[in-house]
Each structure stands twice: as structure tokens, then as C-alpha cells.
Amino acid sequence: MSIPSVDLSKFIHGDQHSKSEFIRELGEAYENIGFVAVKNHLFSYEVEKELYKQVKAFFDLPQEIKQKYEIEGLAGQRGYTSFGREHAKGSSVGDLKEFWHFGQTIEDNDPIKSEYPDNIFAEELPEFNKIGIEAYKTMEKTGTYMLRAIALFLGLDEFYFDQKIHHGNSILRPIHYGPIEGEPKNAVRSGQHEDINLITLLMGASADGLEVLNKKNEWVGVTSLPDQIVVNVGDMLQRLTNNRLRSTTHRVVNPPKEMWGSSRYSIPFFLHPRSEMRLDCLESCITESNPIHYSPISAGEYLDERLREIGLKK
């Protein structure tokens, strides 16, 4: 699938014309499909390569070692989550994946620290911990620029989102879709869903399988793009913009049967705001032809609701 491609350097380093062109291209892509490929982002190939190497090393650990990092009561928000624990909203069948969560690191006296569990670190793999935190910070910075462009597209102040995402509840999620053993019972590697957060930044996955539902209700494959990351709209941004920017339905399908023995690795960064951010629809996005679709809610309340829907929180 040829999803729109944009050049982030035009926004960060370009003149006013280049910056305006980026904002227009990005906004149109998000209005039309909700996904965009981004080149000249801040995430280097060297860091990506090392991150995937360390992620594979973690998931290759014996199950009993990984299991000690699955902490009861954290709703999967830090550390390890085993196969089948998470499912798509509206489904009771667990996805064929295991994953790890790196969360926000707060190094000052911001009181929001009390809302977040501490990061969990794998003692067997110090480099996994180090590269995970580095990747988190780089993706967070890249996402900040993307949201500044989105704010301008919506007619808001360029820095509208900055304080709302400062020390936000974002998550870096290395995922392992394991080899498929036997006929799956209605399960796919990741069931069709929309992301919960504002935007998701995805660095190239190790194998194909990502599919997007287009406006014709057709599933279309999205292949990984060299030197580019894919950034899509999440449900929080859809709510805020009263459906002007749409959260696209996507899934990860199982490979052909002859490839069932292979693994797939993927590392999305889910950019979340602080819990107190209001997701009430922007007045500028409410019109006679597009009346208000959502009731008022905070980001924290919405996240809590969705974690219960996907089975991570009880």
C-alpha cells in the first residue's frame, strides 16, 4: 500500500514555505487515511538496529526468566506481558503476542511521578534496558514535532500539545509475535483495533503483516519502509478533533502457513498525554455538518476505560 510519505526535516529545519507544505501534507494524510510514513525523523538506523537486537535477545530468554518480570497489579503497564493476555476491544480471543513496556522516566519533582509505576529492568540484559530508554526519549521528541504540526493544521497554537504531553503516560512496546504452533483458534497476531493514544510511532517491523482498513472497507497490507517510521492517529486525537482526524483500524495478520515457524518483532511508541488532559472535542471541530460525537472525558479516565476493554485491567 502506498501510504503518504512526508519529510519531517521540512518542518524542523525548513523555511516557512516548507513548513507549511509539511503541515498541509500531514493533515491531508490524516484526514484521508490516518497513517503516514515519515522520513528524516530523529530515530537513527544504528539505534533501531541495536534495539531490535536487544529486543530479540530478551524474548529469546527462557520463559521462567521472562515471567518474573510480569508483575501482578500493574495492568501490563511496565515490564513483561505474556502471550494471550491482551485482546482487541470487542474480542475475547487473546492475541498471539508477548510484549514489554518501557514507560516515562521523571527526573525532577513533577508530582505526576506518583501516578506512574517505576520502570522494570531486565537484570540479565543491561543493554536492553539502556537502548530501550534511549529509544523512548528519541521517539517522544519526534512525536512532539509531529503534534506541533498537527496543532498548526488544526488552527491551534503550535505548542498546544507541549505541556499536555510533558511527562505524559507514553509507552514504548517491543512486541514478539511468536511462531504459530498448530491451527489458531480464531486468533491472529493482533486483532483489528484502533490505538488508544494521541499518535503512534512505529519503527520498521521485522516482517510484513500489518494491514489497514481503507475507506472502501478493504484490508490493505502496509510493508515496512526503509529509513522511515509510520505514524498513525489514535483514538484520543480522534475524540479531541471530533472525528476530523480519524483513528484508522488496523491489525497484524498471521503469515502464510509455510512461514508459521517464523517470529515477527515490532516496536511501536504509543504517545500519551498527561492524565489530566481533557479530550473534550475542540470547538473548532464542531460544526452543523459535524455535530459533537463524544462526551467530555479526561485522558486518564479514557485510558482506564480502554485498558479494561482490552483485558489488561480488571
**Residue with more model confidence, 246 or 69:** 69
Residue 279 banded pLDDT, cuts 50, 70, 90? very high
- Would residue 30 be called left, alpha or beta, if left means φ above 0 and alpha means ψ between -120 and 50 degrees? alpha
Q: What is the pLDDT of residues 121-137, one digit of tens each?
A: 999 999 999 999 999 99
Q: What is the phi/psi pair of residue 185, to 5°?
A: -90, 85
Among residues 144, 151, 145, 143, the alpha carbon closest in space to that of 285 is found at 151
Place of cell 511521578: 113
- Close Cβ partners of 2 (under 8 Å, ≥ 6 residues apart): none
Q: Provide the 3-class DSSP secondary structure of residue 102.
A: strand
CA-based radius of gyration for the chain: 19
Statement: residue 146 has pLDDT above 90: yes
Q: Please report, for the chain, the start and end positions of each structural domain, with discontinuous segments joined by +.
A: 42-309
Statement: residue 80 has pLDDT above 70: yes
Among residues 249, 256, 254, the alpha carbon closest in space to that of 234 is found at 249
Statement: residue 206 has pLDDT above 50: no
What's the full length of the chain, in residues? 314
| Grid cell for residue 5 | 510519505
Q: What is the pLDDT of residues 100-110, one digit of tens each?
A: 999 999 989 99
Q: pTM here?
A: 0.89
pLDDT given for residue 73 in this prediction: 84
Across the range 310-314, mean pLDDT stands at 68
**Residue with more model confidence, 173 or 182:** 173
Residue 259 DSSP code: G
Across the range 158-187, mean pLDDT stands at 86
Residue 208: count of CB within 10 angstroms of its CB: 15
Q: How far apart, in whole angstroms, are the C-alpha atoms of residue 187 and residue 235?
A: 23
Statement: residue 91 has pLDDT above 70: no
| Grid cell for residue 235 | 483514538
Statement: residue 87 has pLDDT above 60: no
Among residues 115, 312, 151, 140, the alpha carbon closest in space to that of 237 is found at 151
Percent of the chain with pLDDT over 90: 61
pLDDT given for residue 207 in this prediction: 45
What b/e readout covers 237-258, taking b as 16+ CB neighbours within 10 angstroms?
Answer: bbbbbbebbbbbbbbbbbbeee
Cβ atoms 285, 71 nearer than 8 A: no
Q: How far apart, in whole angstroms, are the C-alpha atoms of residue 207 and residue 192?
A: 18
CATH of 42-309, one of 2.60.120.330, 3.40.50.2300, 3.60.15.10, 3.40.50.2020: 2.60.120.330
Q: What is the pLDDT of residues 19-58, one digit of tens each?
A: 999 999 999 989 888 888 899 999 888 998 999 999 999 9
pLDDT given for residue 285 in this prediction: 96
Cβ atoms 88, 191 nearer than 8 A: yes
